[in-house]
Amino acid sequence: MARPLRVEFEGAAYHVTARGNERRAIFRDDTDRKRFVQTLGEAAERFGLAVHAYCLMPNHYHLLLATPRANLSRAVGWLQTTCAVRHNRRHDRCGHLVQGRFKAHLIDADAYARRLVRYVHLNPVRPRDRRKPVPADRREPFEAYAWSSHRAYAGTAARGEAPQWLCTEWLSYWGEGSGRIKGARQAYAADLAACFGQPIDSPLADLRGGLVLGGDALWQRARDLIAGTVRSGRRRSDEELKWARTMGQEETRRRLTHLLADEPDSRIRTWARVTIGGERLTDLARGLGYSDGSGILRVCQRLEAAAKESRDLRRRMDAIREEMSIVKS
């Protein structure tokens, strides 16, 4: 199995998640959950992690972390190994506890902290179909759920419930100033309460290259750090090469979308997305209301045939090719 890419630097923030091996439960009871939270606290102290939020689900977990020491792989690797050993010892089993290696999305906290904290904390009540609203009648179970950092943020945790190592400084995104903690908690609680009865978009839909949640500056920093592995003389792994290709495709599609924004002919837009943007026929068909990719293929074929007879059509298509070739070079 290819090793997932890790972009690590001092002060980086991440959304980390892992799922149980074969999608099985990794928490069988509250004792398992308590041990995970305790072990997470040990990891925070041992590796200097700032744990901003967490949520435990039956067969997966979510963490929002920052790494002042640029040691994400060591820290989460230790956490998962230690949890597996303790879990196996308690339940008299052997083997992996989680499926593969953990996922880590590099995030720009200023842009995504609020959405990510909301997304992580709502996990216990969000429907499987993300297009559906969060059920209004799930509000009470949500407020009672003890295995996330929600109650620490809302200020409703029982005495001794909120871990001392939990870092709630991201409450500042709901209210500024150290003297306004009460107002920030109230604003946070109101924000989460407003989520019930409406669908909540996943911030992970904004991932760039499957790795980065952030703007151009963070995106470019991730690209530079990965590109640095080549300059250092180390051969790129298959996963790095795959990510580099994906990164290039996403940049091409982003620029193409901008270029086509004022193009009135839907045929040209479809043709460009297929022939220049490299989008799959089946994916494009679903988005444009076709039953399958053959409809998209016919649009492209008919447009190219029409361009042989129309100088204006051919000129517009050539202009898009030329503009995108300049971008790629």
Give per-residue pLDDT as tens, 52-96: 999 999 999 999 999 999 999 999 999 999 999 999 999 999 888
Report if residue 39 sits inside a domain: yes
Which pLDDT score, from 0 to 100, does residue 248 have? 58
Is the domain of 48 the same as that of 175? yes
Contact 34, 87 (CB under 8 A): no
Is the domain of 53 the same as that of 119? yes
Give this prediction's pTM.
0.72
Query: In the predicted model, is pLDDT for residue 204 greater than 80?
Result: yes
Measure the CA–CA gap between 245 and 242, rounded to whole angstroms: 5
Is the domain of 33 the same as that of 181? yes
Q: Which amino acid is at 56?
A: L
DSSP 243-292: HHHHHHHHHHHHHHHHHGGG---HHHHHHHHHHTT---HHHHHHHHT-SS
Which pLDDT score, from 0 to 100, does residue 37 have? 97
Query: In the predicted model, is pLDDT for residue 259 greater than 90?
Result: no
Is the domain of 60 the same as that of 191? yes
* H/E stretch holding 53: strand 50-57
Report if residue 4 sits inside a domain: no
Average pLDDT over residues 270-284: 85
Report if residue 100 sits inside a domain: yes
Report if residue 220 sits inside a domain: no
Which pLDDT score, from 0 to 100, does residue 247 have? 53
Which pLDDT score, from 0 to 100, does residue 285 have? 86
Measure the CA–CA gap between 57 and 25, rounded to whole angstroms: 9
Is the domain of 34 the same as that of 183? yes
Name the domain boundary from 191, 206, 221: 206
Which pLDDT score, from 0 to 100, does residue 329 have? 41
Query: What is the domain range of residue 270?
Result: 263-329
- Lowest pLDDT segment from 72-76, 231-235, 250-254: 231-235
Is the domain of 157 the same as that of 297? no
Contact 139, 151 (CB under 8 A): no
Name the domain boundary from 188, 206, 224: 206
The SS3 of residue 134 is strand
Which pLDDT score, from 0 to 100, does residue 173 have? 94
Number of domains in the chain: 2
Is the domain of 40 the same as that of 126? yes
Query: In the predicted model, is pLDDT for residue 241 greater than 50?
Result: no
